[in-house]
Amino acid sequence: MTAKRQRHNGEGSIYPYRNGYAAYVWVTKPDGSRDRKYAYGKDREETHDKWLALHAAAKAGPVATKSPTVGQYLAYWLKEVVEPYLRPTAAATYESHVRIHIAPHLGAKSRDKLTVRDVQTWVNRLADLCQCCEQGKDAARPPEKRRCCALGKAQCCEQTLSVRSIRDIRDVLRSALGNAVREEVLTKNVAALARVSNAKRSKRKAKPWTADEAKQFLESARDDDDPLFAAYVLILVLGMRKGEVLGLTWDVVDLEGRELDVQRQLQRVGRQLLHTDTAKTEASEVPLPLPDICAAALRVRRKQQEADRAAAGEVWEDRDFVFSTRHGTPYEPRNFNRSFDARCEKAKVRRITVHNTRDTCGTLLVALDVHPRVVMQILRHTKIAVTMEVYAKAPDKQTRDALRRLGDWLD
């Protein structure tokens, strides 16, 4: 009969605990102090295996006795990994996804105990949550302007996330947990195993403007000599993004050669207004051609700005922005949204978002009789056949004539 081996001091022990067994090992923590690290199992054999793994970890180096929560680890990841190495706009997007969509649902869970099932349940729930209700958007409005969630579920606007948005949010968590695996504090990235449904959402996508609606909107801005008229033209005719238009400077606009180069964008990130380079692709390296109406609108804008400069006198800030305030300073993106919404109301057209105007671009180019090769370049099509499909949906002759007259009036 062999004698039972006596454990040495500091090896810890295994003992019955609740409906199973528990074990502990004395470990050295990252701060240099000594403490017990516990492991649990359904039977003695499972607990013994975990106990041996703890011993191996304790011999290899410092061991944390408490696992941080998902929320705590995400806060560390944003500060130490995301902010120093990603563009400010990307870092702001990551922070927003964490704060609004991830931390409220998964933040309290232990990082080491987060499972694939936890992540999958969360992803599935995101698809059904009305973001207006979840974030209290309607409740934050003044009582007289509340129109949906704050008035009861019967009037919920059902502002659910798109499949792409859900995938982007899941990918932020996957990136964070992937970093934890690289840092060897996790052995598996559970977010990488969660699926996002590719099924189309039942929510109806906002319908872009027709050529008639775009014409009515532009005529309203032209008649009022709106300082943002040229910005609206560039957004509608060239499909430029809001940040690209507001970040446009005169040094990249060639009115004689009829082209402009989209190089920078203006975006509000937290409390900073950043004028940064755009994310360049092979297609975006090519300057955009300027159809007649765009060149004419930009000439009008230059005259408006010269008048603003003369009126401002010494307080004018020469920042070279095409679209600026009356004192030459950059135009605040949120104020642009407000001006766009106000113009929709004044023009008596359907209210859509600034981003939705990009879908109207092809229709307007056809209505303005822009050459198919130029349309192909503006829309970034690689095949002329795709461009000609846009031409197959040309507006009626009356609308086409009205838009051409609008361009002629500007000249």
pLDDT for 280 equals: 57
Question: Looking at the domain assignment, is residue 201 inside a domain?
Answer: no
Answer yes or no: do 349 and 370 share one domain: yes
Report whether pLDDT(152) > 80: no
pLDDT for 347 equals: 95
Report whether pLDDT(247) > 80: yes
Could you tell me the residue range of the domain that residue 346 belongs to? 211-410
Answer yes or no: do 158 and 243 share one domain: no
Quote the number of domains for the chain.
3
Instruction: Compare 301 and 41 and report the one with higher pLDDT.
Output: 301
Answer yes or no: do 138 and 182 share one domain: yes
Answer yes or no: do 132 and 222 share one domain: no
Answer yes or no: do 173 and 217 share one domain: no
Question: Looking at the domain assignment, is residue 65 inside a domain?
Answer: no
Question: Looking at the domain assignment, is residue 4 inside a domain?
Answer: no
Tens digits of residue pLDDT in 369-387: 777 777 777 777 667 776 6
Q: How far apart are CA 156 and CA 295, in angstroms?
A: 44
**First CA to last CA across the chain, in angstroms?**
107
Tokens 């870092």 label which residue? 91
Tens digits of residue pLDDT in 217-240: 999 999 999 999 999 999 998 888
Report whether pLDDT(402) > 60: no
Report whether pLDDT(202) > 80: no
Q: How far apart are CA 111 and CA 148, in angstroms?
A: 36
Answer yes or no: do 105 and 17 share one domain: no
Question: Looking at the domain assignment, is residue 198 inside a domain?
Answer: no
Answer yes or no: do 173 and 284 share one domain: no
Q: Summarize the confidence of residues 113-137 as an average pLDDT.
A: 89
Question: Looking at the domain assignment, is residue 325 inside a domain?
Answer: yes
pLDDT for 303 equals: 95
Answer yes or no: do 149 and 284 share one domain: no
Answer yes or no: do 39 and 97 share one domain: no
Tens digits of residue pLDDT in 264-293: 999 888 788 888 888 655 555 678 888 888
Q: Summarize the confidence of residues 348-355 as an average pLDDT.
A: 90
Question: Looking at the domain assignment, is residue 2 inside a domain?
Answer: no
Answer yes or no: do 118 and 255 share one domain: no
pLDDT for 274 equals: 87
Q: How far apart are CA 22 and CA 53, in angstroms?
A: 14
Q: Summarize the confidence of residues 179-192 as an average pLDDT.
A: 88
Answer yes or no: do 283 and 373 share one domain: yes
DSSP 3-state assignment of 249?
Answer: strand
CATH classification at residue 277:
1.10.443.10
Question: Looking at the domain assignment, is residue 114 inside a domain?
Answer: yes
Question: Looking at the domain assignment, is residue 334 inside a domain?
Answer: yes
Residue 189: which residues within 8 A CB-CB, separation 6 or more?
174, 177, 178, 180, 181
pTM of the model: 0.67
